Amino acid sequence: MYALRELTGSLSVLIEMVVYCCFCNEHFSFTVLHFIKTQLETAPPHELKNIFQLLHEILVIEDPLQVERIKFAFETENGLILMHHSNHVDSSRCYQCVKFLVTLAQKCPTAKDYFK
């Protein structure tokens, strides 16, 4: 997670590795999602791009766990609450959250159905 925050440039190999490990692996997926949510709460807004990219790649994995990962990302404690709190404190973070949700809904039919 710290590499995603602090390194610049393409981190596609790192992201691919994490996505590969998440495929059909519930424990790993939910552990990574928990760490991502922690980073989204604590990282400065200018360090969120790669974290949102990883979150997107994990949520679009088409396997039997896809719906559960989406639910975990948005329904558990600190899910969409992050965006609600950011709206009053940090408009930049809130904007990035909204942008992420729109992009996810456009590229992932399962997420789009979930949001409906």
Those residues of the chain that have pLDDT short of 70 are: 76-89
Q: What is the pLDDT of residue 103?
A: 94
Q: What is the pLDDT of residue 76?
A: 65
Distance of alpha carbon 46 from alpha carbon 91, whole angstroms: 12
Distance of alpha carbon 69 from alpha carbon 32, whole angstroms: 10
Q: What is the pLDDT of residue 82?
A: 52
Q: What is the pLDDT of residue 74?
A: 86
Q: Where are the alpha helices (H) located in the chain, listed in sequence order? A: 2-6, 12-22, 26-42, 49-59, 66-75, 81-89, 91-107, 109-115
Whether residue 22 contacts residue 56, with contact meaning beta carbons closer than 8 Å, is answered with: no
Whether residue 96 contacts residue 45, with contact meaning beta carbons closer than 8 Å, is answered with: yes
Q: What is the pLDDT of residue 81?
A: 47
Q: What is the pLDDT of residue 2?
A: 81
Torsion of CA 57, 63, 66, 72, to 10 degrees: -90
Whether residue 59 contacts residue 66, with contact meaning beta carbons closer than 8 Å, is answered with: yes
Q: What is the pLDDT of residue 77?
A: 63
How is the chain split into domains, by residue range?
Answer: 11-115
Q: What is the pLDDT of residue 60?
A: 97
E strand or H helix at 105, and its extent? helix 91-107
